[in-house]
């Protein structure tokens, strides 16, 4: 068998961006430091040289202006990809996201389309402290009119960005900064990962771990540890958070009868609560135990590496939670 082509998570962003610009003449990229610097994480390295400054545009540090630029350009026929460097900066542009981008089509009775892709970076673990480490995907998932994806692998990064760019709705691609160096198989050609489709990344029969983004990796590690003790966990990578693949969640629950929902975001008010409620509504009779949740405690993300390590969910906590769940049953 030929060796599979591998890319890092971040290189997949650049390759996806390049693919989109090649495929769609009305697509352009705008954001802080995206052109000349190639993105502070390297997301757009090489794009400026290949496509020129009409297709990739450095913006001022003006998040509200950046989102507005995307909304106005999308409504008038372009297909923008806008980059919000850190998800934490959404506070600066929440009106343009929540009141304009999300609602424009509906308020206008369906006459406007907003084919805009927002690429942003979430998650902690890099000692960036409380304002550069958050996982705020629940904010966006709460807004009708927006779609949200949160890829865990380089393959999904590329496929979901290309899908997002082809969708006629606003789609947020929530990347994870601690995953940037992760390597994985990425085909060279263009391909899509459909929006709204979860993926079973590890089969199991004893418990389902429903998760997304970097916690997929932690969940697989946890599953491997559990496996040593004879517990086979199924890991479901949601990939899309809005729309959410409830069907896949229910199918896994029916198989294992036990669920732990895992995310890096703060547990209270996080998507785990929504997922638990959906399971309760659609698969209550299949449950052998209450739905368990692993998430960050109710505090801002701390700075000190020691504190941050204690804060962010990891494989160990997932193992503990699964064991408690199984012991309780």
Partner 1 sequence: MELNNEALLDIHHRMVRIRTFETEAGKLAEAGKIPGALHLYVGQEAVASGIMAHLSNDDWITSTHRGHGHLIAKGGEFGKMFAELFGRATGYCKGKGGSMHISNMDLGMLGANGIVGAGPPIAVGAAFSIKYRNVQNVAVTFFGDGASNEGSFHEAANMAALYKLPMLFVCENNGYGEYTPQANHQAIVDVADRAAGYGMPGVVVDGMDAVAVYEAADAAIERAKAGDGPSLLECKTYRFFDHVGVRGMGLSYRTDEELAEWQKRDPIHMFEARLAELDVLSKEDAVKIHESVLADVQEGIEFAENSPMPDPATLLEDVYA
Minimum CB distance to partner 1, residue 14 (Å): 22
State whether residue 186 is helix, strand or coil.
coil
From candidates 112, 250, 287, 289, binder to partner 1 by CB under 8 A: 112
Minimum CB distance to partner 1, residue 47 (Å): 16
Joined tokens for residue 95: 């009106």
Minimum CB distance to partner 1, residue 102 (Å): 9
Give the sign of the dihedral formed by CA 265, CA 144, CA 209, CA 120.
Answer: negative
Please work out the total of residues on this chain that contact partner 1, with binding judged by CB under 8 A: 44
Binding of residue 68 to partner 1 (CB under 8 A): yes
From candidates 6, 23, 95, 281, binder to partner 1 by CB under 8 A: 95
Minimum CB distance to partner 1, residue 36 (Å): 14
Q: Print the binding letters for residues 139-168 with partner 1: x by CB under 8 A, - otherwise.
A: -----xx-x-------------------xx
From candidates 16, 47, 69, 160, binder to partner 1 by CB under 8 A: 69
Cα distance between residue 275 and residue 293, in whole Å: 10
From candidates 2, 36, 110, 230, binder to partner 1 by CB under 8 A: 110
Binding of residue 59 to partner 1 (CB under 8 A): yes
Joined tokens for residue 262: 């895992």
Joined tokens for residue 104: 């424009």
Which alpha helices (H) appear in the chain, and where do they start and end? 9-23, 47-51, 63-75, 90-94, 104-107, 137-141, 154-166, 215-228, 246-256, 271-283, 305-311, 315-328
**Of 176, 60, 163, nearest in space to 117 by CA:** 163
DSSP 110: T
Segment contacting partner 1 (CB under 8 A): 43-51, 91-99, 128-136, 319-327?
91-99
**Catalytic residue status for 132:** yes
Q: Which residues are catalytic?
A: 132
């Amino acid at each position: 068998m030929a060796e599979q082509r591998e890319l890092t998570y971040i290189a997949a962003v650049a390759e996806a961006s390049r693919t989109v610009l090649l495929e769609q003449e009305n697509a352009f990229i705008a954001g802080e430091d995206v052109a000349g610097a190639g993105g502070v994480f390297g997301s757009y390295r090489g794009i400026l040289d290949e496509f020129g400054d009409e297709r990739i545009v450095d913006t001022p540090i003006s998040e509200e202006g950046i989102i507005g630029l995307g909304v106005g350009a999308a409504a008038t026929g372009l297909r923008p990809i806008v980059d919000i460097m850190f998800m934490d900066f959404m506070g600066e542009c929440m009106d343009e996201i929540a009141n304009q981008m999300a609602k424009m089509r509906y308020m206008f009775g369906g006459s406007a389309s907003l084919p805009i892709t927002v690429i942003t970076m979430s998650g902690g673990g890099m000692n960036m402290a409380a304002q550069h480490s958050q996982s705020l995907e629940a904010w966006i998932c709460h807004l009708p009119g927006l779609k949200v994806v949160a890829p865990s692998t380089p393959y999904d990064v590329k496929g979901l960005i290309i899908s997002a760019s082809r969708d006629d709705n606003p789609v947020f691609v929530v990347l994870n900064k601690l995953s940037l160096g992760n390597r994985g198989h990425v085909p060279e050609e263009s391909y899509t990962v459909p929006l709204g489709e979860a993926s079973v990344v590890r089969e199991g029969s004893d418990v389902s771990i429903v998760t997304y983004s970097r916690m997929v990796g932690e969940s697989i590690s946890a599953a491997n540890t559990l496996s040593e003790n004879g517990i086979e966990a199924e890991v479901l990578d949601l990939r899309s958070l809005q729309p959410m693949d409830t069907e896949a969640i229910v199918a896994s629950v029916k198989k294992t009868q036990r669920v732990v929902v895992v995310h890096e975001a703060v547990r209270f008010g996080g998507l785990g609560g929504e997922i638990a409620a959906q399971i309760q509504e659609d698969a209550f009779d299949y449950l052998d135990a209450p739905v368990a949740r692993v998430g960050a405690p109710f505090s801002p993300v701390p700075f000190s590496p020691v504190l941050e390590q204690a804060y962010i969910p990891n494989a160990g906590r997932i193992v503990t939670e699964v064991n408690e769940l199984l012991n309780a049953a």
